[in-house]
Structure 1
């Protein structure tokens, strides 16, 4: 694959996603190149494996709900009411007029509902959304967590990795996965820890300035917070590789996609953020 080929593929994905930024006010167009990179890195054959880009559209939605949750000007009761709406939409309710987040969620759900594995995984997907929102709500609690593990107990949920992965599983349509759901769930929790720690290393300075907790603020009393977080990330990567190694679908594509997602995200966060990445500038 040449650099020109990759750039052209990323351009094509961005072009497919760009109308979302026109239809939905919460979508930040500057994030689309990073989402395109994630999509293409793990699924070079996206035109055949996920032609409507349902998984990429869902990543756009995850960023949007994260922005809502991070907006502390939104009172907690209002945030909980928005979450209740999103939980209902995830289970088939219509999106209320004027709620763009709910509308995009309904759009993604409708695309997934056309796929063969949806009946078997719809409840799992909706429950994972519940976990995502519960993790995001927990981030509103300013009380310091007593340990890194106590922090990761909710922070691995709020990063959105598991929701993304269950969406990929539905898209890839390998029915052999259905007999391995507990093993897959364990692997996805391990993946989420990797992505959370990589994210925290990337955003530590920003979150410190905002007075928010992350892995580094919790580790600071014990020494060099960055070095300790990097060690925790290295251990999380080892645990993830062991866990994903237990997943063996018939096609092998799901475990390949999840491993590629974790590896690519760790590498991405060492250099970029989703707010600033521009593939044409690299």
Structure 2
């Protein structure tokens, strides 16, 4: 692991926990399955690259992580299903990039209006026009394209409302985070850790993404997903698992950009950076354990989906221990 610029990034803590985690997962992935997954990733990349050409605001660096996540979480589904799930994953990155100012140059009020239009597009794909040549319009076009496909997907009748709700929570959370960021920049006021986690478990995008997978996979579940507490718990655990690990990896970058995250808030409460990093990784592990328990108690038709959440949780936790997921570290020599 690289040791360049390690201030605030206690690689010794992560290395220790990573080794423990790898030892606990010593069975690993069979070589034949790994080769098959790698081959499927290569197959998916060309159509995803062609799709991105229609919506060029989506950063090219996002394609590989979205494809890896789709294949790792759903290795047995069809090519077409994995492709649509990967596109839903790319929406996570694209909406986050618009909300965070990574792409585009929108004022705060414009960000709010754009995110509200994204939510409306997800509710009714043809209700909005996305004909502009700016970044927000390209992302809107991508949202519209995925929404149209999910509205026509086999599981739309049962699971579309769940996906729409979690897309709404993701966008609403981004607006709350924007207000919190501006307040911090103006007067140094930080939110509580509880508030931050309550919002950021949805803005990480994992719950929205996994709801999209339900629409695509269409398990034979006759209940009401929005009223199923175990579904809500599984999505919450998945979001918090990803949030804690993302914040470990992005602490240096976000601090340099004048932002805060869960580790910043732990440090503000008196933890050292090493203590904050250890707590974050351990809390991510606790959410993974909780997710594993909840997945096993889901209604029978949803248990295969629950297993995919657990598999993705293991994948994402190890991935974050190696490198940052949302912002690839070009200087890193590590390989997953």
Q: Check whether TM > 0.5.
A: yes
Match of 2:140 in 1: 102
Matched, 1:159 2:191: no
Matched, 1:77 2:112: no
The total of aligned residue pairs comes to 279
Question: What secondary structure, in the 3-state scheme, does the structure 2 residue paired with 1:176 have?
Answer: coil
Matched, 1:248 2:296: no
Distance 1:65 1:135 in 2: 11
Match of 1:121 in 2: 159
Q: Which moved more, 1:77-86 or 1:267-276?
A: 267-276
Match of 1:276 in 2: 328
Question: What secondary structure, in the 3-state scheme, does the structure 1 residue paired with 2:56 have?
Answer: coil
Q: Deviation of residue 167 (structure 1)?
A: 0.5
* Residue deviations 1:234-282 (CA, integer Å, cap 9, x gap): 322232223223213337321111111111111111112344389xx76
Q: Deviation of residue 137 (structure 1)?
A: 1.2
Contact 2:121–2:143, Cα closer than 8 Å, also in 1: yes
Matched, 1:132 2:184: no
Map 1:22-33 to 2 at 5 A.
22-33=53-64
Distance 1:128 1:122 in 2: 10
Match of 2:270 in 1: 222
Matched, 1:200 2:252: no
Aligned-residue CA RMSD (Å) = 2.2
Distance 2:302 2:263 in 1: 39
Distance 1:230 1:69 in 2: 26
Q: 1:243 and 1:148, CA in 2 relative to 1: closer, same or farther beyond 3 A?
A: farther
Q: 1:132 and 1:177, CA in 2 relative to 1: closer, same or farther beyond 3 A?
A: farther
Question: What secondary structure, in the 3-state scheme, does the structure 2 residue paired with 1:96 have?
Answer: coil
Q: Deviation of residue 49 (structure 1)?
A: 7.0
Contact 2:170–2:202, Cα closer than 8 Å, also in 1: yes
Distance 1:148 1:94 in 2: 36
Q: Deviation of residue 48 (structure 1)?
A: 5.5
* Residue deviations 1:48-73 (CA, integer Å, cap 9, x gap): 6716x211101111101101111185
Q: 1:250 and 1:127, CA in 2 relative to 1: closer, same or farther beyond 3 A?
A: closer
Q: 1:158 and 1:262, CA in 2 relative to 1: closer, same or farther beyond 3 A?
A: same
Distance 2:39 2:150 in 1: 27
Distance 1:245 1:88 in 2: 34
- Structure 2 spans left out of the alignment, 5+ residues: 1-30
Matched, 1:55 2:102: no
Q: Which moved more, 1:124-133 or 1:6-15?
A: 6-15
Match of 2:42 in 1: 11
Match of 1:35 in 2: 66
Q: Which moved more, 1:167-176 or 1:69-78?
A: 69-78
Larger radius of gyration: 2
Distance 2:199 2:150 in 1: 26
